[in-house]
Amino acid sequence: MRRLGFFVACALTLLAPRLVVGQSELRFCLTSQPKTLNPIAVDDDASETIRYITGGVLIRLDRSTQQPVGELATGWRINKAGNAISFTLRPNLRFSDGTPFTASDVAFTIERLMDPDLHSPTGDSLRSKSGKVETRIADPFHVTVTFPAPVTGLERLFDQVAIISAQSPKKFMAVLGPYYVAENKAGSYLLLKRNPNYWKRDQTGRQLPYIDSIRLDIQQNRDKELLRFTRGEIDLINSLNPESFDLLKNRAPGMAFDAGVALDSEQIWFNQIPSSPLPDYKKAWFNSVHFRRAVSSAIHREDISRVVFHGYAQPAVSLISPANKIWFDQKLKPHAYDVKLALRELELDGFRLQGDTLRDRGGHPVEFSVITNSGNKDRERMAAMIQQDLRAVGIRLNMVTLDFPSLIERITRTFNYESCLLGFVNDELDPNAQMSVWLSSADNHQWNPNQKKPATAWEAEIDRLMQEQASALDATRRKRDIDRVQEIVWEQEPFIYLVNKHALSAVSPNVRNAHPVGLRPQVYWNIDQLAFATQPRRSQ
Partner 1 sequence: MKQLRTAALVFLAVVLLASLLAGVIAPAPYDFQFRESFNAACSTRHLLGTDALGRDRFSRVLFGTRVSLLLAPAAALISTVLAALIGGAAGYFGGRLQKVLMSATDLSMAMPWLFLLITVRAMLPLNTEPAVSVVITFGLLGLLGWPAAARVVCADAAKLIESDFILHARAMGCSEVRLFCRQLLPNLKPVLTAQFWISIPVFILAEANLGILGLGVVEPLPSWGGLLQELQSLALVTGRPWQFASVILLIATVTCFHIVIQREKAES
Q: Which stretch binds partner 1 (CB under 8 A): 26-34, 53-61, 305-313, 327-335?
A: 305-313
Q: For partner 1, what does the binding mask look like between residues 143 and 182, x meaning CB under 8 A? A: ----------------------------------------
Nearest CA to 71 among 92, 57, 50? Answer: 57
- Would you count residue 218 as binding partner 1 (CB under 8 A)? no
Rounded CA-CA distance 246/506 in Å is 11
Rounded CA-CA distance 294/526 in Å is 44
How many chain residues are in contact with partner 1, going by CB under 8 A? 36
Q: Tally the residues of the chain.
A: 540
Selected from 227, 336, 408, 475, the binder of partner 1 by CB under 8 A is 227
State in angstroms the smallest separation of the CB of 474 from partner 1.
47
Q: Which stretch binds partner 1 (CB under 8 A): 47-55, 335-343, 414-422, 457-465?
A: 414-422
The phi and psi torsions of 471 (rounded to 5 degrees) equal -105, 0
Rounded CA-CA distance 68/266 in Å is 28
State in angstroms the smallest separation of the CB of 398 from partner 1.
5
Task: Label residue 131 left, alpha or beta by phi (over 0 means left) and psi (-120 to 50 means alpha).
Answer: left
State in angstroms the smallest separation of the CB of 488 from partner 1.
29
Pick 81 or 227: Cβ nearer partner 1: 227
State in angstroms the smallest separation of the CB of 244 from partner 1.
4
Single-letter amino acid code for the residue at 208: L
- Would you count residue 356 as binding partner 1 (CB under 8 A)? no
- Would you count residue 307 as binding partner 1 (CB under 8 A)? yes
Nearest CA to 366 among 385, 378, 349, 383? Answer: 349
Q: Are 141 and 102 in contact (CB under 8 A)?
A: yes
Rounded CA-CA distance 519/156 in Å is 14
Nearest CA to 431 among 466, 464, 461, 463? Answer: 466
Selected from 58, 84, 385, 386, the binder of partner 1 by CB under 8 A is 385
Single-letter amino acid code for the residue at 61: L
- Would you count residue 326 as binding partner 1 (CB under 8 A)? no
The phi and psi torsions of 431 (rounded to 5 degrees) equal -65, -15
- Would you count residue 534 as binding partner 1 (CB under 8 A)? no
The residues that bridge with 292 in the sheet, in sequence order, are none
- Would you count residue 357 as binding partner 1 (CB under 8 A)? no
Q: Which stretch binds partner 1 (CB under 8 A): 143-151, 182-190, 397-405, 459-467?
A: 397-405
Q: Which stretch binds partner 1 (CB under 8 A): 17-25, 42-50, 72-80, 412-420?
A: 412-420
Q: Which stretch binds partner 1 (CB under 8 A): 117-125, 135-143, 394-402, 498-506?
A: 394-402
Selected from 75, 196, 350, 375, the binder of partner 1 by CB under 8 A is 375
Selected from 354, 388, 412, 534, the binder of partner 1 by CB under 8 A is 388
Q: Where are the alpha helices (DSSP H) in 158-252?
A: 222-230, 242-251
Q: Are 431 and 484 in contact (CB under 8 A)?
A: no
Nearest CA to 140 among 104, 185, 86, 115? Answer: 104
- Would you count residue 412 as binding partner 1 (CB under 8 A)? no
Pick 78 or 284: Cβ nearer partner 1: 284
Nearest CA to 422 among 444, 392, 389? Answer: 444
Nearest CA to 441 among 406, 417, 466, 421? Answer: 466
Q: Where are the alpha helices (DSSP H) in 339-424?
A: 339-348, 377-391, 404-409
State in angstroms the smallest separation of the CB of 311 from partner 1.
11
Single-letter amino acid code for the residue at 296: S
Selected from 44, 202, 258, 303, the binder of partner 1 by CB under 8 A is 303
Nearest CA to 284 among 350, 334, 238? Answer: 350
State in angstroms the smallest separation of the CB of 226 from partner 1.
6
- Would you count residue 308 as binding partner 1 (CB under 8 A)? yes
Pick 89 or 234: Cβ nearer partner 1: 234
State in angstroms the smallest separation of the CB of 406 from partner 1.
4
Selected from 137, 402, 442, 455, the binder of partner 1 by CB under 8 A is 402
Helix (H, G, I), strand (E, B) or coil at 441: coil
CB count in 10 Å sphere of residue 520: 22
Q: For partner 1, what does the binding mask look like between residues 239 and 268, x meaning CB under 8 A? A: --x-xx-xx---------------------
- Would you count residue 24 as binding partner 1 (CB under 8 A)? no
Q: Which stretch binds partner 1 (CB under 8 A): 49-57, 104-112, 380-388, 474-482?
A: 380-388
E strand or H helix at 342: helix 339-348
State in angstroms the smallest separation of the CB of 416 from partner 1.
8
The CA-based diameter of the chain, rounded to the nearest angstrom, is 79
**DSSP secondary structure letter of residue 94:** B
Rounded CA-CA distance 386/296 in Å is 10
- Would you count residue 383 as binding partner 1 (CB under 8 A)? yes
Pick 402 or 442: Cβ nearer partner 1: 402
Selected from 185, 377, 477, 537, the binder of partner 1 by CB under 8 A is 377
Nearest CA to 445 among 314, 298, 294, 319? Answer: 319
Single-letter amino acid code for the residue at 181: V
Interacting residues toward partner 1 by CB under 8 A = 223, 226-227, 241, 243-244, 246-247, 303, 306-308, 367-369, 371, 374-375, 377, 380-381, 383-385, 387-388, 398-403, 406, 416-418
